[in-house]
Amino acid sequence: MAVIEIKRYKGQDGRPTEPQLLSLLKDTKLSDIPHRFFFPEVILKNLIRVKNAVLKNKEAYIKSHGGNKMTSSVIIFDGKSNAGKTTLAAQVGLFFQPDMTMEKNYAWNIDRLLELIENASPGQVIIMDEAMVINSRSSNSDDNLKLIIALSQVRSKGVFLLFCINSIHQLEKSISLTRADFMFHLKRVGGISGIPKYCIYDEDKMRQLVVKNAGKYSYAGVIPNTSFFTFSKYFPFNDVRYDNMKHDESIKNLKHSHKEEQKNKVKPQTIDKLIRREFYFYQLANHLFDNNIMTKSDLARLLKLDIGNFMTDVKNYNNKDKTELEELMKKPYQNIDKLPSL
């Protein structure tokens, strides 16, 4: 195992250097050194590769005063609740940025995530815990559209973006299919009281998972790139304080979602008015046509509408059963048991 102790092994920039880390590739008892965590050699080498790719471009970017393009890394942590996603993500985050804090590096809602991305400095870690708020079933929502735009620009920031979510199948597909570099899949081996372990799915394997098992929430048929590894229980922050912050932000998310739902909900009174206006319009239009006052083409040109689409709409309206609609028109506003379709 590779043992990492941030306080003892630091490079010039405050981060462990590659030679120092590789020199630690040996088996050591976890109890020997306090406040540490470990990665297997294959995991460590990949993390070093990702870290060097981002920080190397960061140094070139600074030297050239922004002349070189930056690169960023997106990593997913997926697994059921209590599988250890938050703990492992914090350890990986510390590996990339040893001085990270809850206040400067964590987000539990879209607005905070977008704020961190917008104000990020090169080499910064951003951890989105409980990323189910960025779910695939609401990919047309305002929040997800804002996120997609932000992710299209995140490369120029030179950051490490970590998403924790219960299942990769819940995540917005623009992240899992086109943005993420690899995924830590966590589970408790041996049931709910078992030992938390993780394996790795690379970019190609993630794509296979999302496409092959779409809608199934299954990992069957796609073999991970590594076997399962154990990891340390070390968490760098106060558990109670972290849980309180997470709880407060979750409540804010629920209130925000409720407000958005109420804001976007179409009131029955609005539907009532729209149906009535449609009825009035087509009744008037048919009166003009039937009495040779105006042709369909003339009315379409007057209203600056596409002639073909307008004639199709008139035909569809005249061909549908209007019994229910005529009954509705006899009722007063907002006194409707069932609204007919438009």
| Per-residue pLDDT tens over the stretch 232-265 | 888 888 888 888 887 777 676 666 555 555 555 5
Mean pLDDT of the chain: 76
pTM greater than 0.75 (yes/no): no
Task: For residue 216, give every residue at least 6 positions away whose Cβ sits within 8 Å of its Cβ, in sequence order, or none.
Answer: 169
Place 269 in a pLDDT band, splitting at 50, 70 and 90.
low
The pLDDT, as a whole number, for residue 7 is 38
Q: Give the mean model confidence (pLDDT) for residues 94-100.
A: 90
Q: Which residues pair with 78 in a beta bridge?
A: 165, 185
The pLDDT, as a whole number, for residue 21 is 47
- Using alpha carbons, select from 257, 280, 72, 47 the residue that is nearest to residue 158: 72
The secondary structure of residue 340, as a DSSP letter, is P
Share of the chain above pLDDT 90, in %: 18
Provide CATH code, domain 69-263. 3.40.50
Q: Is the dihedral of CA 89, 95, 96, 100 positive or negative?
A: positive
User: What counts of helices (H) and strands (E) characterise the chain?
Assistant: 13, 9
The pLDDT, as a whole number, for residue 231 is 92
| Per-residue pLDDT tens over the stretch 272-310 | 677 777 888 888 888 888 998 989 888 888 888 888 888
Determine the 3-state secondary structure of 48 from DSSP. helix
Structure tokens at 181: 């570099």
Rounded Cα gap, residues 154 and 160, in angstroms: 10
Contact by Cβ (8 Å): 126, 105: yes
Rounded Cα gap, residues 197 and 79, in angstroms: 10
Contact by Cβ (8 Å): 47, 56: no
Tell me the C-alpha to C-alpha distance, in Å, between residue 189 and each of 23, 78, 195, 227. Answer: 30, 15, 5, 12
Contact by Cβ (8 Å): 188, 218: no
Rounded Cα gap, residues 14 and 132, in angstroms: 33
| Per-residue pLDDT tens over the stretch 173-200 | 878 888 889 999 999 988 778 899 999 9
Rounded Cα gap, residues 75 and 203, in angstroms: 10
Task: For residue 283, give every residue at least 6 positions away whose Cβ sits within 8 Å of its Cβ, in sequence order, or none.
Answer: none
Contact by Cβ (8 Å): 181, 94: no
- Using alpha carbons, select from 203, 196, 239 the residue that is nearest to residue 85: 196
Q: Where are the domains of the chain?
A: 69-263, 268-329
322 pLDDT above the threshold of 60: yes
- Using alpha carbons, select from 176, 164, 106, 161 the residue that is nearest to residue 131: 164
